[in-house]
Structure 1
């Protein structure tokens, strides 16, 4: 049987981890681009909706003013009693007031829509930045652990990452210790499973969310796996 050297194992893991890093990086760029396109399209649709609404309101106002002018011309041509003219004027003024109220309500709605679009834009920008930072932390952690500790990272279905540790047990270096991780919709790390189970995993996950130090998290997980072999 051919002898497998430590260098061969290291090269093998280095190549696999580099493939994972490249896939994660390409996917992250695709996600960021898709998010930017979505944001631009949403902003464009909102502006178009505002323009269409304002254009319709201007046309309605023009029609109303033409109607008022027609009323005035008609009243000038007819010899109506003063009370009847006053009633028509009062009715016309009431319609104008109603239109003004509708216009004010529409302006408030447009302002609210504009502010909501700006808020969503800021949230998306902040989320994109947070995802970039997390990807950067993952890359740093990957470099350290692939060089020193024989870590393998596998991308699974559903945007999940499996972290595979070897060289934990001196008696059986090929023994596998794993945990499954994902980043939720709010950009927070979430450990889904751990094999073999670690009682302190929930505590380590909580610390990761507080510090955002992924390298320290991986080091602590490996330390706990190593402790299992000594118990």
Structure 2
């Protein structure tokens, strides 16, 4: 065992301590280099992560803005769609209303056509009836005027009772004591083509019954003959 009093012992101890110190410094240097390299790598990682996060945030902001824009556009399109649907609904309602009006107008036109056809038939029927009455009047005129001395006059009534054009049938040769004495019946034609007895002079109580009979038979000569008989009967009382 080397003695502590050995003079070389101190140098060796010093050298050994220096070697240990050098090794420790080297280790410390390696540790510091590794730490520095790790810090730099960590900074780069953190910077890369931060850049990635910033880019992700920016992308998310753009995406959010895009979503908001799409949402606003969607709301605008929905509002526009509702307006168009409302307009379409109103247009359909208007079309349906016009269709109903069209059907109503068509029905009214058909009704007017039917009424016009009925009026036409009525006018033709009245015209035919009037022609028949005219022929009856002409026959009655010939018979009574030529054989019985009856006179037919056309008058225009001014009172409400005899308003419009009327015919007067003037009978003579009724009263044996006064052959020229006039017995008069005034009559016309109603709007529906029926005969209308206005008055008789002198008045005959049976005139309404004779008028009703005339409406039934449309036989004017027979009516005038009956009127003459009534005048004769009254004159001889």
Per the normalisation by structure 1, the TM-score is 0.60
Other-structure match for 2:70: none
Gaps of at least 5 residues in structure 1 are 1-78
- How much does 1:86 deviate? 4.5
Instruction: Tell me the residue number matched to 2:97.
Output: 98
Q: CA deviation at 1:228?
A: 2.0
Matched, 1:186 2:192: yes
Distance 1:170 1:87 in 2: 96
- Cross-structure match for 1:152: 151
**Cα 1:89–1:129, aligned 2, differ >3 Å: closer, same or farther?**
same
CA RMSD of aligned residues (A): 2.1
- Equivalenced residue count is 153
Task: Describe the shift of the 1:186–1:83 C-alpha distance in structure 2 as closer, same or farther (beyond 3 A).
Answer: same
Cα offset, 1:92, TM superposition: 3.8
The CA deviation at 1:202 is 1.6
**CA shift digits 1:111-130 (9 cap, x unpaired):** 22222222222221111111
Structure 2 CA distance for aligned equivalents of residues 224 and 86 of structure 1: 86
The CA deviation string for residues 44-77 of structure 1, in whole angstroms up to 9 with x for no partner, is xxxxxxxxxxxxxxxxxxxxxxxxxxxxxxxxxx
CA shift at 1:88, angstroms? 4.6
Aligned-partner SS, 1:182? strand
The structure with higher relative contact order (CA 8 Å, sep 6+) is 1
1:14 corresponds in structure 2 to none
CA separation of 1:80/1:131 partners in 2, compared to 1, >3 Å: closer, same or farther?
same
- Is 1:80 matched up with 2:77? yes
For residues 70-90 of structure 1, give each alpha carbon's deviation from its aligned partner in whole angstroms, at most 9, with x where no partner exists: xxxxxxxxx934953555544
2:45 equivalent in structure 1 = none
Query: What is the correspondence of 1:66-215 to structure 2 with a 5 Å cutoff?
Result: 80-81=77-78, 84=82, 86-157=85-156, 158-215=164-221
CA pair 185-99 structure 1, distance change in 2 beyond 3 A: closer
2:169 aligns to what SS in structure 1? strand
Structure 2, unmatched stretches of 5+, are: 1-75, 157-163
Secondary structure of the structure 1 residue equivalent to 2:167? strand
- CA distance in 2 between partners of 1:177 and 1:225 (Å): 7
